[in-house]
Structure 1
Amino acid sequence: MDSSSQPGHPEETKLQKGSCAKRVGFSEQLHSQSEDDDCMVTYTNILQAAGEFGTFQRRLVALTFIPNILSAFFLSSRVILFKKLPHYCDTSWLLAIRPNLTRQELFSLTLPKKADGHFESCRMYSPVQWDFDSIVKYGLNDTQECQYGWIYIKLTKISLVSEFDLVCNRASEPSKAGDIFKAGLLLGSFIIGIMCDRIGRYKTILIMLLFYGVFGFGTTFVPSFIIYKTFQFGIGIAITGYVISSVTLVSEWLLISQRTHAIALAHCFFALGLLLLSALDYSIPHWRLLYLTGSAPVIFLVSYIWILPESPLWLMMSGQMEKAKFVLCTAASINKRTIPPELLKQLNVEKIPYGTMLGLLKEAPMRKITMIMGYVWFSISFSYLGLTFQIQKLQTNMYGTYIALALVELVARLSCIILVEKLGKRSSQVLMLLLGGITCLLQVFIPNEYLSIHLSLSLLSQIGMSAAITVAFIYSADLFPIAFRQPGFCFVSLFFSLGAIFYSLVKNMVPDHPKMFRIICGVLATSGGFLSFLFPQN
């Protein structure tokens, strides 16, 4: 089945002419099969009359670039901000008795040792009111948890860990912040569809960009880690909300033939956001300054109030025909085109009820597609996060690894344009998931000492999973009917969030078993690839 003939596409939205009933239909079921083709005008004709991919559409796609850079920054900065730091209890109380001690001498007298001979990181000898000679002669025996803070060895940058002392009994705080962030992603999956359908794509996007400013840029100035965790919840909602609403808006302004380029190009700027993060982390010594610099582009998002368009399809579905005609004519004017007046006169529509996530599961064909797509997004989420985690654990140059990951993302996103054009969406989805899954499983059989082979296979896995994300966005936009596209994206986004939560649970249960991680990632990605064969051909 060709993708352009699937029910529910914008290209199938029909405007009836002449003696035909004047209304817009949003699925094939709204039209009689015996109607003469000359009696029908599709929504495609309107977009073509306004300009298929003119200045207006190119500007719309360009408007997604800055938010995608910010999404990458906010999503991945936590990995950098929570890097583990060598630390020991602050035992400078002994320096008041003997100020000229070296660090080694200080630690030898005040810190207990583990069985392997290294100093304890989270325990210290209890302070005593003895003279120095007595301490050296008799030694200290009673131990306790760190009482006066911590000393961070080889500290070259101020991170969240060092500023808020997220070590020892507070070492689980970064993980809790990650869980709160994922809870934001999950909540966003539930509420954004309702917002988009009730107040429109335009207002929803603006609210999410406001969240970027308040919770993203505002993170720079958080006074405590509790506030930081609260802001992470807001950022999680913002990222999910922006992704769903922006993809829906762009999809409704573009023909199918242009969506692949638009979505893939927008995702390339996500990869550029990762490169930006790597460069800032390398050159900026304080996490607050890093956050201030990386989130500064949020200032430019204020202009979106005046230049971001609303979706004409949403305006039609909500019964606002005059506004729909106005935005279509505005687009045509910017593209130096004119929509024929007789075509605009036929834009007469009844208010169409919106689809829901439950509605996607009512009919067997759409239920099958929806559940498979949900599993694909779940497997992509878990595998993508798991593979990224495993690459970061390899004993390689830290900054080199981050840059390599960002470049791999960029190559993977760009390759989707060629893949989808040459192979089609279904074959591209299958190929990328199998590439990510099989290369991940192969690493299970490679000895750990072959670091270069592990790194090569890990990067291939990352290419597969990164490309699978982009293809999944493109494919989802085409598979879900117009009235159900918004809840469809919310549904798969929900499964993406569940995949991230499941990843966190597995990581906490088996933190030191990389082979187990690779097996789970490989099985999920590979099974998702084989299930993708059940999607309709395109």
Structure 2
Amino acid sequence: MQSKDLEDGSSKKKVEQFSRRVFGRRLFKSENFTNLNAYLDILQALGEFGTFQRRLVALTFVPGLLSAFFVFDGPLMLETQPYHCYSDWLLTIQPNLTMRDLYNLSLPKRNDGSFEECLMYSPVQRDFDSIVKYGLNDTEECQKGWIYTQPEYWSITREFNLVCGKTSKLLEVRAIFITGILCGSLIIGTLCDRMGCYRTILTMMLSYAIFGFGTAFVPTFNVYKVFQFIVGMTVMCYKISSIILVSEWLVVSRRAHAVALEHCFYVLGLILFSTLTSIIPHWRLFRLVVGSPVFLLISYIWILPESPMWLLTKGKMEKAKGILCMAANVNKKVIPPELFQQLIKEEIHYGTILNILQRRPLRRTLMILFYVWFSIGLGYFGLISQGHRNKKKYGGYLTLGLLQLPVHLSCIILSEKLGRKNSQILTLFLGGFTSLFTVFVPNDMNSLELTLIILNQIGLTAAITMSFIYTVELFPIFLRQVALGFLSLTYSFSAIAILLIETVKQDQPEFTMMICGSLTMSGGFLTFLLPKKWEGKLPEEKSESPKENDDQKN
């Protein structure tokens, strides 16, 4: 009987140890960072937004220019040009035919008078006069490839002939890129914890150089798809790691400036992208031009600083103090020695998504934000898709970029005057209402429709910026990066959802706008349930007794 009790006790202890490992406690030993208050006092002493912080923002967000190229190059790389079958069999019968006569005789026409793209007349063994007199009737699929009617424009679609029965591969490429973004969202928390933001960012720079610039040399379409997956993962990993690095160098009042400026650099890349696409017609040359600046970022090895917060969590006190003193020298400030004396040596780890899900307040906040971020992403990608389809009507990417730049900057003032939460609600309502109202505008009222489209762009653009500013302040410091990574999954899901909606409702853009507007409006109402910021402290874990520790070691 006693042995049975011992076995039950041993099995119970194993279950407890297993539960601690499963729920992340082995990875997250202390949720209350002892050095946090002292670290914030040091940040205040070295200057809230001095020369060092401004330089850091510029260094960290310059690669955002490249990110815009990699996110939006799909329409340029994969855009389908006018084409039709290459049919030269008539030239063996009548070599002196002009190209116009050749096409008129060998290619079937649609009802509107244009040539069929994927069909040609079957070759016949008849003389040329009878072919002209009686014509041809039997058709077949293209046998010798296709002729593209814009010879100066060279896209991936043309190079790898992704037409007719291969058009589904165009959708496949975008899905692969989105999957890469999803995978990047999943791994970024672990990378920043194990490697630190500095090494993570440098790794992403190397990935940009190899797989971003290297895309210009891919030999096959399958290799291109692999490169697109890794580039998508790199874009998301860089975005989250750069925001985490800058936010850990700045006090709360200055984080809105950093996030807004980061989005401004991204918009500048979008504007440059629109300009270069009209100048460079070949996709490989375009990739060489936009990818070559990544090699200038090699200098980041020496000038990009690590996060002192991360160094302190790893017990690297001297390195953290050295970087903080260097920043103070650049800002021409002096950090009082007594602040350094308040720092104690401790080694802790960042949390996991399980640490959020197992606590009701954080779980509730995360679920609401997940819906809000998804609705914003759905509306934004839907807006981009409609803008690409109607470049002449809505102005395309250039207008979108020029409009976004002042909107991102205005978010700094908006967040300071109204607060993070109220600004998030306002931008969600603006984006959702204008999207819904666009559906009911008559087709002949172009000026009103254009005004609503512009307001919709303003609302959704501001909502994206505010979502990053607001979300960072809703989670404890060691759960922010895992929360941002998890919430970034919504952009992958929303992009996939837009692709599915457009596949099912190809000729009904009003349906897409109605879905996007409804979700964005409901996201605004749900935001009322969120707190203004994270103010609580998560309870410390109960320390294990020495005897229990010895049992676990055994």
TM-score (norm 1): 0.90
In the other structure, the counterpart of 1:190 is 186
- The verdict on how the C-alpha distance between 1:155 and 1:421 changes in structure 2, with shifts beyond 3 A counting, is farther
**Residue identity opposite 2:158 in structure 1:** S
Deviation digits for residues 430-467 of structure 1, max 9, x if unmatched? 11111111111111111234333323212221111111
Separation in structure 2 between the aligned mates of residue 112 and residue 104 of structure 1, nearest angstrom = 13
Separation in structure 2 between the aligned mates of residue 361 and residue 526 of structure 1, nearest angstrom = 26
Q: Decide whether the 8 Å contact of 1:188 with 1:240 is kept in 2.
A: yes
In the other structure, the counterpart of 2:11 is none
Instruction: Give the match's secondary structure for 2:62.
Output: helix
Q: Decide whether the 8 Å contact of 2:260 with 2:412 is kept in 1.
A: yes
Q: Decide whether the 8 Å contact of 2:80 with 2:158 is kept in 1.
A: no
Separation in structure 2 between the aligned mates of residue 487 and residue 331 of structure 1, nearest angstrom = 27
Establish whether residue 326 from structure 1 lines up as the match of residue 319 from structure 2. Answer: no
1:537 to 532, 535, 553: 532
- Worse-matched range after superposition: 288-297 or 464-473: 288-297
**Residue identity opposite 1:307 in structure 2:** I
Establish whether residue 73 from structure 1 lines up as the match of residue 69 from structure 2. Answer: yes
Instruction: Give the match's secondary structure for 1:479.
Output: coil
Q: Decide whether the 8 Å contact of 1:388 with 1:462 is kept in 2.
A: no
In the other structure, the counterpart of 2:172 is 176
Separation in structure 1 between the aligned mates of residue 120 and residue 188 of structure 2, nearest angstrom = 50
Deviation at 1:247, TM superposition (A): 0.4
Aligned Cα root-mean-square deviation (Å): 2.0
Instruction: Give the match's secondary structure for 2:442.
Output: coil
**Residue identity opposite 1:202 in structure 2:** Y
Instruction: Give the match's secondary structure for 1:157.
Output: coil
Counterparts of residues 425-436 of structure 1 (less than 5 Å): 425-436=420-431
Establish whether residue 272 from structure 1 lines up as the match of residue 263 from structure 2. Answer: no
In the other structure, the counterpart of 2:290 is 294
Deviation digits for residues 57-91 of structure 1, max 9, x if unmatched? 11110012321101111100112222231111111
Counterparts of residues 61-210 of structure 1 (less than 5 Å): 61-210=57-206
In the other structure, the counterpart of 2:439 is 444
Deviation at 1:319, TM superposition (A): 1.9
- Worse-matched range after superposition: 441-450 or 195-204: 441-450
Q: Decide whether the 8 Å contact of 1:434 with 1:525 is kept in 2.
A: yes
- The verdict on how the C-alpha distance between 1:155 and 1:406 changes in structure 2, with shifts beyond 3 A counting, is farther
Instruction: Give the match's secondary structure for 2:343.
Output: coil
Counterparts of residues 438-517 of structure 1 (less than 5 Å): 438-517=433-512
In the other structure, the counterpart of 1:389 is 385
Identity %: 53
Q: Decide whether the 8 Å contact of 2:376 with 2:520 is kept in 1.
A: yes
Deviation digits for residues 342-372 of structure 1, max 9, x if unmatched? 2212211322232111211222111111111
Deviation at 1:302, TM superposition (A): 0.7
1:347 to 343, 352, 369: 343
Deviation at 1:115, TM superposition (A): 4.2
Separation in structure 2 between the aligned mates of residue 368 and residue 256 of structure 1, nearest angstrom = 23
**Residue identity opposite 1:377 in structure 2:** W
Separation in structure 2 between the aligned mates of residue 102 and residue 424 of structure 1, nearest angstrom = 70
Which runs of 5 or more residues in structure 1 are unaligned? Answer: 1-23, 32-39
Separation in structure 2 between the aligned mates of residue 129 and residue 459 of structure 1, nearest angstrom = 60
Deviation at 1:117, TM superposition (A): 4.1
**Residue identity opposite 1:483 in structure 2:** F
Instruction: Give the match's secondary structure for 1:124.
Output: strand
Q: Decide whether the 8 Å contact of 1:381 with 1:499 is kept in 2.
A: yes
Report how many aligned residue pairs link the two structures: 505
Deviation at 1:156, TM superposition (A): 3.6
Deviation at 1:263, TM superposition (A): 1.0
Q: Decide whether the 8 Å contact of 1:391 with 1:458 is kept in 2.
A: no
Deviation digits for residues 393-422 of structure 1, max 9, x if unmatched? 226168x43211111121221121121111
Instruction: Give the match's secondary structure for 2:120.
Output: strand
In the other structure, the counterpart of 1:56 is 52
TM-score (norm 2): 0.87
- Worse-matched range after superposition: 497-506 or 388-397: 388-397
Instruction: Give the match's secondary structure for 2:516.
Output: helix
In the other structure, the counterpart of 1:416 is 411
Separation in structure 2 between the aligned mates of residue 379 and residue 75 of structure 1, nearest angstrom = 19
- Worse-matched range after superposition: 418-427 or 493-502: 493-502
Separation in structure 1 between the aligned mates of residue 383 and residue 466 of structure 2, nearest angstrom = 18
Deviation at 1:128, TM superposition (A): 2.7
In the other structure, the counterpart of 1:11 is none
In the other structure, the counterpart of 2:257 is 261
Instruction: Give the match's secondary structure for 1:43.
Output: helix
